[in-house]
Chain A
Amino acid sequence: MIFIDFLLAFIVGGLICAIGQLLMDVGKMTPGKTLSILVVAGSIISGLGWYQPLIDLAGAGATIPITSFGHSLTQGAIAEAEKHGWVGVLTGMFEVTSSGISSAIVFGFIAALIFKPKGKVN
Protein backbone atom coordinates (compact mmCIF):
# COMPACT_ATOMS: atom_id res chain seq x y z
CA MET A 1 0.00 0.00 0.00
CA ILE A 2 2.75 2.42 0.92
CA PHE A 3 4.43 1.56 -2.37
CA ILE A 4 1.38 2.76 -4.30
CA ASP A 5 1.46 5.92 -2.24
CA PHE A 6 5.00 6.62 -3.41
CA LEU A 7 4.19 5.59 -6.95
CA LEU A 8 1.37 8.12 -7.06
CA ALA A 9 3.74 10.84 -5.85
CA PHE A 10 6.18 9.84 -8.59
CA ILE A 11 3.58 9.79 -11.35
CA VAL A 12 1.77 13.01 -10.45
CA GLY A 13 5.01 14.91 -9.81
CA GLY A 14 6.53 13.51 -12.99
CA LEU A 15 3.50 14.47 -15.05
CA ILE A 16 3.56 18.08 -13.84
CA CYS A 17 7.24 18.26 -14.79
CA ALA A 18 6.49 16.68 -18.17
CA ILE A 19 3.90 19.40 -18.81
CA GLY A 20 6.58 21.95 -17.93
CA GLN A 21 8.98 20.34 -20.41
CA LEU A 22 6.33 20.47 -23.14
CA LEU A 23 5.80 24.18 -22.47
CA MET A 24 9.56 24.69 -22.75
CA ASP A 25 10.15 22.56 -25.85
CA VAL A 26 6.97 22.89 -27.88
CA GLY A 27 5.97 26.34 -26.62
CA LYS A 28 9.61 27.54 -26.92
CA MET A 29 9.44 29.22 -23.54
CA THR A 30 12.21 30.22 -21.18
CA PRO A 31 12.27 28.45 -17.80
CA GLY A 32 11.06 31.63 -16.10
CA LYS A 33 8.01 31.87 -18.32
CA THR A 34 7.24 28.15 -17.90
CA LEU A 35 7.35 28.41 -14.12
CA SER A 36 5.17 31.53 -14.14
CA ILE A 37 2.54 29.75 -16.24
CA LEU A 38 2.59 26.72 -13.95
CA VAL A 39 2.15 28.90 -10.87
CA VAL A 40 -0.84 30.65 -12.43
CA ALA A 41 -2.27 27.25 -13.44
CA GLY A 42 -1.83 26.00 -9.87
CA SER A 43 -3.64 29.06 -8.58
CA ILE A 44 -6.59 28.62 -10.95
CA ILE A 45 -6.90 24.89 -10.23
CA SER A 46 -6.80 25.72 -6.55
CA GLY A 47 -9.57 28.28 -7.02
CA LEU A 48 -11.69 25.59 -8.64
CA GLY A 49 -11.07 23.42 -5.60
CA TRP A 50 -9.20 20.65 -7.39
CA TYR A 51 -5.73 21.15 -6.02
CA GLN A 52 -6.36 19.91 -2.48
CA PRO A 53 -7.69 16.55 -3.77
CA LEU A 54 -4.53 16.30 -5.86
CA ILE A 55 -2.40 16.82 -2.76
CA ASP A 56 -4.49 14.25 -0.87
CA LEU A 57 -3.87 11.82 -3.69
CA ALA A 58 -0.21 12.37 -4.44
CA GLY A 59 1.26 14.03 -1.36
CA ALA A 60 4.66 15.46 -2.22
CA GLY A 61 3.94 14.72 -5.88
CA ALA A 62 1.64 17.73 -5.77
CA THR A 63 3.30 19.85 -3.07
CA ILE A 64 6.85 19.79 -4.44
CA PRO A 65 6.14 21.15 -7.97
CA ILE A 66 5.96 24.93 -8.18
CA THR A 67 2.20 24.73 -8.92
CA SER A 68 1.61 24.21 -5.19
CA PHE A 69 3.03 27.68 -4.65
CA GLY A 70 0.05 29.17 -6.51
CA HIS A 71 -2.21 26.85 -4.56
CA SER A 72 -1.02 27.88 -1.10
CA LEU A 73 -1.17 31.59 -1.95
CA THR A 74 -4.67 31.24 -3.36
CA GLN A 75 -5.92 29.21 -0.41
CA GLY A 76 -4.51 31.85 1.93
CA ALA A 77 -6.33 34.62 0.10
CA ILE A 78 -9.58 32.64 -0.13
CA ALA A 79 -9.55 31.68 3.55
CA GLU A 80 -9.09 35.31 4.58
CA ALA A 81 -11.67 36.53 2.08
CA GLU A 82 -14.11 34.11 3.66
CA LYS A 83 -13.36 35.57 7.10
CA HIS A 84 -12.92 39.27 6.39
CA GLY A 85 -14.52 39.82 2.99
CA TRP A 86 -12.99 42.33 0.63
CA VAL A 87 -10.07 43.33 2.84
CA GLY A 88 -9.22 39.69 3.37
CA VAL A 89 -8.35 39.22 -0.28
CA LEU A 90 -5.34 41.47 0.23
CA THR A 91 -4.31 40.54 3.76
CA GLY A 92 -4.70 36.82 3.16
CA MET A 93 -1.69 36.64 0.94
CA PHE A 94 0.56 38.03 3.64
CA GLU A 95 -0.59 35.43 6.12
CA VAL A 96 0.09 32.39 4.02
CA THR A 97 3.32 32.60 2.11
CA SER A 98 5.01 29.53 0.87
CA SER A 99 7.91 28.38 3.00
CA GLY A 100 9.62 27.97 -0.37
CA ILE A 101 10.27 31.70 -0.58
CA SER A 102 11.57 32.18 2.93
CA SER A 103 13.81 29.13 2.86
CA ALA A 104 15.10 30.07 -0.60
CA ILE A 105 16.03 33.50 0.77
CA VAL A 106 17.76 32.11 3.84
CA PHE A 107 19.64 29.37 2.02
CA GLY A 108 20.48 31.75 -0.83
CA PHE A 109 22.07 34.09 1.67
CA ILE A 110 24.02 31.27 3.28
CA ALA A 111 25.12 29.98 -0.11
CA ALA A 112 26.36 33.43 -1.09
CA LEU A 113 28.54 33.36 2.02
CA ILE A 114 30.15 29.99 1.39
CA PHE A 115 30.18 29.26 -2.35
CA LYS A 116 32.00 30.81 -5.29
CA PRO A 117 30.84 30.31 -8.88
CA LYS A 118 33.06 28.12 -11.03
CA GLY A 119 32.53 27.28 -14.67
CA LYS A 120 32.30 23.52 -14.57
CA VAL A 121 31.28 21.77 -17.71
CA ASN A 122 28.03 19.86 -17.86
Chain B
Amino acid sequence: MNQEQFDKIEQEITPPTPYVKNVLKAFLVGGLICTIGHAITYFYIIFFDFTEKTVGNPTAATIIFISMLLTGFGLYKKIGQFAGAGSAVPVSGFGNAVISAAIEHRTEGFVLGVGGNMFKLAGSVILFGVSSAFVVSLIKLILVTMGVIEW
Protein backbone atom coordinates (compact mmCIF):
# COMPACT_ATOMS: atom_id res chain seq x y z
CA MET B 1 0.00 0.00 0.00
CA ASN B 2 1.66 3.21 -1.10
CA GLN B 3 1.03 6.77 -0.03
CA GLU B 4 -1.28 7.70 -2.92
CA GLN B 5 -3.44 4.61 -2.52
CA PHE B 6 -3.81 5.34 1.16
CA ASP B 7 -4.60 9.03 0.63
CA LYS B 8 -7.32 8.06 -1.82
CA ILE B 9 -8.91 5.61 0.62
CA GLU B 10 -8.62 8.06 3.48
CA GLN B 11 -10.33 10.81 1.53
CA GLU B 12 -13.09 8.53 0.30
CA ILE B 13 -14.00 7.23 3.73
CA THR B 14 -13.52 10.28 5.92
CA PRO B 15 -16.93 11.97 6.10
CA PRO B 16 -16.87 15.48 4.58
CA THR B 17 -17.25 18.44 6.92
CA PRO B 18 -20.91 19.57 6.78
CA TYR B 19 -20.02 23.16 5.87
CA VAL B 20 -23.53 24.48 5.31
CA LYS B 21 -24.96 22.87 8.43
CA ASN B 22 -22.07 24.07 10.58
CA VAL B 23 -22.27 27.64 9.27
CA LEU B 24 -26.04 27.73 9.82
CA LYS B 25 -25.68 26.45 13.37
CA ALA B 26 -22.94 29.00 14.06
CA PHE B 27 -25.13 31.76 12.61
CA LEU B 28 -28.14 30.83 14.71
CA VAL B 29 -26.38 30.32 18.03
CA GLY B 30 -24.04 33.27 17.51
CA GLY B 31 -26.98 35.46 16.56
CA LEU B 32 -28.92 34.26 19.58
CA ILE B 33 -26.07 35.05 21.98
CA CYS B 34 -25.83 38.54 20.46
CA THR B 35 -29.59 39.01 20.77
CA ILE B 36 -29.41 38.08 24.45
CA GLY B 37 -26.54 40.57 24.72
CA HIS B 38 -28.73 43.18 23.06
CA ALA B 39 -31.47 42.60 25.62
CA ILE B 40 -28.90 43.00 28.41
CA THR B 41 -27.82 46.25 26.72
CA TYR B 42 -31.34 47.64 26.96
CA PHE B 43 -31.59 46.47 30.54
CA TYR B 44 -28.50 48.47 31.51
CA ILE B 45 -29.57 51.53 29.52
CA ILE B 46 -33.03 51.63 31.02
CA PHE B 47 -32.30 50.79 34.64
CA PHE B 48 -28.78 52.18 35.07
CA ASP B 49 -26.86 55.26 33.98
CA PHE B 50 -25.35 53.81 30.84
CA THR B 51 -25.56 55.22 27.34
CA GLU B 52 -25.20 53.25 24.12
CA LYS B 53 -21.54 54.26 24.14
CA THR B 54 -20.71 53.03 27.63
CA VAL B 55 -23.02 50.03 27.89
CA GLY B 56 -20.56 47.68 26.15
CA ASN B 57 -18.53 47.04 29.29
CA PRO B 58 -21.28 45.93 31.69
CA THR B 59 -22.83 43.86 28.89
CA ALA B 60 -19.59 41.99 28.22
CA ALA B 61 -19.10 41.44 31.96
CA THR B 62 -22.61 40.05 32.32
CA ILE B 63 -22.20 37.74 29.33
CA ILE B 64 -18.94 36.46 30.78
CA PHE B 65 -20.61 35.89 34.14
CA ILE B 66 -23.27 33.76 32.44
CA SER B 67 -20.48 32.05 30.53
CA MET B 68 -18.78 31.22 33.85
CA LEU B 69 -21.86 29.44 35.14
CA LEU B 70 -22.37 27.54 31.88
CA THR B 71 -18.68 26.61 31.78
CA GLY B 72 -18.58 25.49 35.40
CA PHE B 73 -21.59 23.22 34.99
CA GLY B 74 -20.14 21.74 31.80
CA LEU B 75 -22.86 23.18 29.56
CA TYR B 76 -20.76 25.56 27.49
CA LYS B 77 -18.87 22.61 26.14
CA LYS B 78 -22.10 21.09 24.87
CA ILE B 79 -23.13 24.37 23.27
CA GLY B 80 -19.65 24.56 21.71
CA GLN B 81 -19.92 21.10 20.19
CA PHE B 82 -23.22 22.10 18.58
CA ALA B 83 -22.46 25.67 17.58
CA GLY B 84 -18.72 25.74 16.84
CA ALA B 85 -17.78 29.32 16.10
CA GLY B 86 -21.29 30.39 17.11
CA SER B 87 -20.31 30.09 20.76
CA ALA B 88 -16.55 30.61 20.33
CA VAL B 89 -16.61 34.01 18.59
CA PRO B 90 -18.84 35.95 21.04
CA VAL B 91 -17.07 37.29 24.11
CA SER B 92 -18.62 34.42 26.07
CA GLY B 93 -16.31 32.10 24.14
CA PHE B 94 -13.33 34.18 25.21
CA GLY B 95 -14.60 33.88 28.77
CA ASN B 96 -15.03 30.12 28.33
CA ALA B 97 -11.43 29.77 27.15
CA VAL B 98 -10.12 31.65 30.19
CA ILE B 99 -12.47 30.10 32.74
CA SER B 100 -12.12 26.50 31.55
CA ALA B 101 -8.32 26.78 31.73
CA ALA B 102 -8.58 28.29 35.22
CA ILE B 103 -10.79 25.45 36.47
CA GLU B 104 -8.62 22.83 34.81
CA HIS B 105 -5.37 23.97 36.40
CA ARG B 106 -6.79 24.56 39.86
CA THR B 107 -5.11 21.38 41.13
CA GLU B 108 -1.67 22.86 40.45
CA GLY B 109 -2.32 25.72 42.84
CA PHE B 110 -3.41 29.31 42.33
CA VAL B 111 -0.06 30.78 41.36
CA LEU B 112 1.47 28.39 38.86
CA GLY B 113 -1.72 26.54 38.03
CA VAL B 114 -4.50 29.09 37.67
CA GLY B 115 -2.24 32.11 37.26
CA GLY B 116 0.15 30.52 34.83
CA ASN B 117 -2.38 28.75 32.65
CA MET B 118 -5.43 31.01 32.62
CA PHE B 119 -4.51 32.58 29.30
CA LYS B 120 -3.02 29.55 27.62
CA LEU B 121 -5.93 29.44 25.15
CA ALA B 122 -7.11 33.05 25.12
CA GLY B 123 -3.71 34.71 25.40
CA SER B 124 -3.26 34.79 21.64
CA VAL B 125 -6.39 36.94 21.33
CA ILE B 126 -4.91 39.55 23.65
CA LEU B 127 -1.54 39.37 21.92
CA PHE B 128 -2.99 39.93 18.45
CA GLY B 129 -5.57 42.45 19.66
CA VAL B 130 -2.99 44.68 21.32
CA SER B 131 -0.38 44.27 18.58
CA SER B 132 -2.77 45.05 15.75
CA ALA B 133 -4.18 48.03 17.68
CA PHE B 134 -0.62 49.30 17.98
CA VAL B 135 0.13 48.81 14.29
CA VAL B 136 -3.18 50.23 13.08
CA SER B 137 -2.95 53.36 15.23
CA LEU B 138 0.70 53.82 14.22
CA ILE B 139 -0.22 53.65 10.54
CA LYS B 140 -3.02 56.11 11.13
CA LEU B 141 -0.66 58.46 12.97
CA ILE B 142 1.87 58.29 10.13
CA LEU B 143 -0.83 58.96 7.53
CA VAL B 144 -2.14 61.92 9.52
CA THR B 145 1.38 63.30 9.96
CA MET B 146 1.92 63.00 6.23
CA GLY B 147 -1.34 64.79 5.68
CA VAL B 148 -3.01 61.99 3.75
CA ILE B 149 -5.98 61.66 6.08
CA GLU B 150 -7.46 63.45 9.07
CA TRP B 151 -8.31 62.10 12.51
Contact = CB atoms under 8 A, between A and B. Distances in A.
Interface of A: 5-6, 9-26, 31-40, 43-44, 46-47, 55-56, 58-61, 63-70, 72-74, 76-78, 80-82, 85-86, 89-90, 92-93, 98-101, 103-105, 107-118, 120, 122
A103 B61 contact: yes
B17 A10 contact: no
Q: How would you classify the secondary structure of chain B's contact residues: helix, strand, loop or mixed?
A: helix
A60 B35 contact: yes
Interface of B: 17, 19, 22-35, 37-41, 52, 56-61, 63-65, 67-68, 71-74, 77-78, 81, 83-86, 88-95, 97-106, 110, 114, 118, 121-122, 124-130, 132-134, 136-141, 151
Contacts of B114: 108-109, 112
Nearest to A86: B141
Contacts, number: 288
Contact of B64 (A10, A85, A93, A107): A107
Q: Which of B31, B95, B101 counts the most chain A CB atoms within 10 A?
A: B31
B28 A109 contact: no
